[in-house]
A and B are shown apart, each in its own frame.
Chain A
Amino acid sequence: MNIPSTEKHEILLETHDLVRHFVGPRTSLFGKRRVAHAVNGVSLQLRKGETLGLVGESGCAKSTLGLLILNLLQPTSGTVTFLGKDVTNLDKKEWRRMRSEMQLVFQNPLGALNPRLTIGSQIREPLDIHDVGEPESRHDKVLEMIESVSLPEHLLERYPHQLSGGQQQRVVIARALINRPKLVVCDESVSALDVSVQAQVINLLVDLQKKLGLTYLFITHDLSIVRHISSRIAVMYLGRIVELADSEDLLENPMHPYTKALIAAVPVPDPRARKSRATISGEPPSPFNLPAGCAFNARCPHADEKCRTELPEFRQTSEEHMVACHHAEKLA
């Protein structure tokens, strides 16, 4: 597999041919167990300081990939290399030290916060667990953190249910960042928020990235958000990356027919831009039953015999553009 030249960029994390299967229930009492092929060989690199947007529809295993990258889920095969070490094979002690370098921000902040602890103690908890600095100095760190997520200090004494959704998500972000991680995986982190609050949290994430030199893996189904926040975008379909490029390049010159259909389907907030957006029909196939050849062939308007039999290689078409389609050049 060709991997783009990376001399210019410092690599923070790299996955190599990650595969993850889930074993389903038996089809009958003595029947076989079905296997869901969730992640089917993903190799990608996260560059230091970048935001890599990971987009795809529900069921394409973008969240599973996020969990594999954070080593919260063991891969069936493949490796994840973070700061030069294979995190899937670390001993407990080493992993514990490394774990605070990578953090996760979920979609639903209320589900991620402990309802019975005050905001202040939840933001402080990672400092206590990893025994960072003198206990007396930790409160100052909490104060500094809550200020950088633009929350008033008096909220420290409150409980999660007393805060609005946007405030809760700021608390989750503060807690994730207090140990100064290098990598943050944001899994649909702003999807549950109302539009006006969503913009605030997106701006906050952008500001914090600049200030703290963070690297984001930003997982979302929303292409508009991803265009705004990402430096590069990876498009996922049924457990594989089908296209990866610079965000402007990907949105202006998409090469994979799925990427094109996905972009066309997003409604634009401009009534003068009305057009038919349903350019592909049908729904993604089931991960229990992967089709032969390209996973997109049943929905693709350009599919031919080759697409139905031969898995397209994820290949480089220009320095910063990778695509997995037999006919990418012809369709561009």
Chain B
Amino acid sequence: MTKPLISVKDLSVHFRTDEGLVTAVENVTFDIAPGEILGLVGESGSGKSVTAKALMLLNPDNAVYDPKSSITLNLGEEQVDVLSLRPKERLVIRGGAISMIFQEPMASFAPAISIGDQMVEQLLIHSDMNKARATEMSIEMLARVGIPDAAQRFRQYAFEFSGGMRQRAMIAMAIACEPKLLIADEPTTALDVTIQAQILELLSDLKKDLGMALILITHDLGVIAEAADDVAVMYAGRIVEEAPVLDLFDNPLHHYTKGLLNSLPRVDRKVERLSAIAGAAPPPHEFVEGCRFEPRCGHCSDNCTGVRPEFHRVSATRRVACIHPVTAP
């Protein structure tokens, strides 16, 4: 097996709040191979964005990383211990080896600086290009992501772009420094479906061309099925299941994953009645030690109460955190 590009081990993130320390993410462990697309799926508050932001140390100042957590980035010879980076050293990950795109591209661009100037600025910081070369390169990148009249668009501001074009510009900016890993946090959620299809196709093309790995964070299982190689399902701050995408959809092991799949309305076929999961996911301040899905689970036993289900390996490629996993049909 190839050496993973990034290894996340026992990542726990707490937040200092007025109500005390609140845990948002607990013992999250996963690897990403170079060039892999990992889908991180979960509902709001499940901790998927906090996990992703931890990889770039982008969580707010009140975030506390548990001392047992480790994030290791393998850059050829060099190994970077992300969590111990001092502020000045963080350029290695931020915009360097790792880059991130967000749901709302309008909020990610400075409104009063042209798109081009923002792209040039980062190239000047992260590479030894001069300004003329950086300009040329930025225009090339804008054209690469499918923005027509790139040289003209280069001089425009974010508000002059449509939603889809803005997302393309953000992708151009994110890949300009040739990151090893691109984190896409709900990259298509704010877009219309026809535009979403275009952006997903663009991301998958770029991944192939540049050989970068991709973390695709979404709540949409359709997007996951469309794009991911491997999938990690998060629930209430923990990863509850991890599997290759075909296995996950064919044969989910965690009752939460199965419940989610069953509750989806489908465009490709008629479903008589949706089988909804009763109840709602707990908010972080109500997280318990034991299985957090137990109150909504139809398959729990007395053994589930108070006992934390170990995130254990069931095969070479699959792990699940449940003591009564779904049995094969």
Q: Is A203 within 8 A of B192, CB to CB?
A: no
- Nearest A residue (CB) for B42: A194
Q: Is B226 within 8 A of A251, CB to CB?
A: no
- Nearest A residue (CB) for B278: A200
B198 at the interface (CB under 8 A from A): yes
A23 at the interface (CB under 8 A from B): no
Q: Is A221 within 8 A of B193, CB to CB?
A: yes
Q: Is A277 within 8 A of B200, CB to CB?
A: yes
Q: In whole angstroms, how far apart are the Cα atoms of A280 and B164 in the complex?
A: 13
Min Cβ gap B204→A in Å is 10
Q: In whole angstroms, how far apart are the Cα atoms of A310 and B135 in the complex?
A: 44
Q: Is B274 within 8 A of A202, CB to CB?
A: yes
A93 at the interface (CB under 8 A from B): no
- Nearest A residue (CB) for B162: A283
Q: Which residues of B contact A248 (CB under 8 A)?
A: 270
Q: Is B267 within 8 A of A223, CB to CB?
A: yes
A117 at the interface (CB under 8 A from B): no
Would you give the 0/1 interface string for A208-233, flagging 1 where the beta carbon is closer than 8 Å to chain B? 00000000000001111101110000
The binding surface of chain A is classed by DSSP as: helix
Q: Which residues of A contact B157 (CB under 8 A)?
A: none
Q: Is A267 within 8 A of B192, CB to CB?
A: no
B223 at the interface (CB under 8 A from A): yes
Q: Which residues of B contact A200 (CB under 8 A)?
A: 276-278
Q: Is B192 within 8 A of A228, CB to CB?
A: no
Min Cβ gap B276→A in Å is 4
Q: Is B277 within 8 A of A262, CB to CB?
A: no
Point out the residue from A203, A222, A272 that lies within 8 Å of B274, measured CB to CB: A203
Q: In whole angstroms, how far apart are the Cα atoms of A301 and B224 in the complex?
A: 28
Q: Which residues of B contact A165 (CB under 8 A)?
A: 280
- Nearest B residue (CB) for A206: B273
A199 at the interface (CB under 8 A from B): yes
Q: Is B194 within 8 A of A269, CB to CB?
A: no
Q: Is A227 within 8 A of B266, CB to CB?
A: yes
Q: Which residues of A contact B280 (CB under 8 A)?
A: 164-167, 194, 196-197
Q: Is A227 within 8 A of B274, CB to CB?
A: no
Q: In whole angstroms, how far apart are the Cα atoms of A202 and B220 in the complex?
A: 17
Q: Is B193 within 8 A of A273, CB to CB?
A: no
- Nearest A residue (CB) for B231: A271
Q: Which residues of A contact B224 (CB under 8 A)?
A: 269
Contact-residue size bin, chain B (C-beta under 8 Å from the other chain): 35 or more
Contact-residue size bin, chain A (C-beta under 8 Å from the other chain): 35 or more
Within 8 A of A (CB), among B67-124: none
Point out the residue from A229, A265, A272 that lies within 8 Å of B194, measured CB to CB: A265
Q: Which residues of A contact B192 (CB under 8 A)?
A: 57-58, 221
Q: Which of B3-11, B256-264, B303-311, B312-320 participates in binding chain A? A: B256-264
Q: Which residues of B contact A262 (CB under 8 A)?
A: 193-194
Q: Which residues of B contact A195 (CB under 8 A)?
A: 43, 219, 221, 260, 263-264
Tally of A-B residue pairs with Cβ under 8 A?
140
Q: In whole angstroms, how far apart are the Cα atoms of A248 and B268 in the complex?
A: 10
Q: Is A196 within 8 A of B246, CB to CB?
A: no
Q: Which residues of B contact A137 (CB under 8 A)?
A: none
Q: In whole angstroms, how far apart are the Cα atoms of A224 and B196 in the complex?
A: 15
Q: Is A203 within 8 A of B197, CB to CB?
A: no
Q: Which residues of A contact B206 (CB under 8 A)?
A: none
Min Cβ gap A192→B in Å is 9
Q: Which residues of B contact A202 (CB under 8 A)?
A: 265, 274, 276
Min Cβ gap A143→B in Å is 22
Would you give the 0/1 interface string for A178-198, flagging 1 where the beta carbon is closer than 8 Å to chain B? 000000000000000011111
A261 at the interface (CB under 8 A from B): yes
- Nearest B residue (CB) for A166: B280
A278 at the interface (CB under 8 A from B): yes
Q: Is B270 within 8 A of A267, CB to CB?
A: no
Are A271 and B260 CB-contacts (below 8 A) given A200-B278, A261-B194? no
Q: Which residues of A contact B296 (CB under 8 A)?
A: 196
A28 at the interface (CB under 8 A from B): no
A276 at the interface (CB under 8 A from B): yes
**Residue of B266, B267, B275 ringed by the most chain A CB atoms within 10 A:** B267
Q: Is B194 within 8 A of A278, CB to CB?
A: yes
Min Cβ gap A59→B in Å is 8
B195 at the interface (CB under 8 A from A): yes
Within 8 A of B (CB), among A247-279: 248, 251, 261-274, 276-279
Q: Is A223 within 8 A of B276, CB to CB?
A: no
Are A267 and B222 CB-contacts (below 8 A) given A196-B263, A224-B264? yes
Min Cβ gap B65→A in Å is 27
Q: Which residues of A contact B200 (CB under 8 A)?
A: 267, 277-278
Q: Which residues of B contact A198 (CB under 8 A)?
A: 263
Q: Which residues of B contact A229 (CB under 8 A)?
A: 265
Given contacts A228-B266, A269-B221, A269-B222, 15 further A-B contacts (CB under 8 A): A57-B192, A196-B263, A196-B296, A197-B276, A202-B274, A202-B276, A224-B222, A227-B270, A262-B193, A265-B193, A268-B267, A271-B249, A272-B246, A278-B194, A278-B198
Chain B interface (Cβ < 8 Å from any Cβ of A): 43-44, 162-165, 192-198, 200-201, 219-226, 228, 245-246, 249, 259-261, 263-268, 270-271, 273-278, 280-281, 283, 296
In the A-B complex, the 8 residue pairs with the closest CB atoms: A267-B222, A199-B276, A199-B263, A228-B265, A57-B192, A194-B43, A277-B197, A278-B197
- Interchain Cβ contacts under 8 Å between A and B, 27 examples: A57-B193, A58-B192, A196-B43, A196-B296, A197-B276, A199-B265, A199-B274, A199-B275, A199-B277, A202-B276, A203-B273, A223-B267, A224-B222, A224-B264, A224-B266, A228-B265, A265-B196, A267-B220, A269-B249, A269-B264, A271-B226, A271-B245, A271-B249, A272-B246, A278-B197, A278-B201, A283-B162
